[in-house]
Amino acid sequence: MLNDYTMEMIEGKVCPYCRCETKKVSSDRIYGKDYFPGKFFLQCPEIKEHYVGIRFDGKSLGSLANKELRELRKVDFNTFAVRHYAQDIKHQKITSL
């Protein structure tokens, strides 16, 4: 069973690298300009590169990530998206017969 500290890391409340409490910030704190007005992130106050996005329902997209982990998550997301797209195409062919 996961303890409270682990849950706080998974929910983005604590930075898994620096172990400090995160802050809710707008996209100008991440990108230097507010490219995504109304979109928020949880950011580590120690190292600005540690952050994660917040969904519109207010929950984080997961634990904070550094640059390397973010790249890995993108690759994983793209693989996932391609697989689902392929399944959709297959499904459309079957249902259109």
Q: Binding residues for Zn ion, per CB under 5 A?
A: 15, 17-18, 44, 46-47, 50
Nearer Cβ to Zn ion (45/85)? 45
CB 45 within 8 A of CB 22: yes
Q: How far is the CB of 39 from Zn ion (least distance, A)?
A: 20
The DSSP-derived string for 10-61 is HTTSB-TTT--B-EEEEHHHHHSS-SSTT-EEEE-SS-TT-EEEB-TTS-BS
Q: How far is the CB of 18 from Zn ion (least distance, A)?
A: 3
**Ordered strands of the 23-26 beta sheet:** 23-26, 40-43, 51-53
Q: How far is the CB of 50 from Zn ion (least distance, A)?
A: 4
Nearer Cβ to Zn ion (44/65)? 44
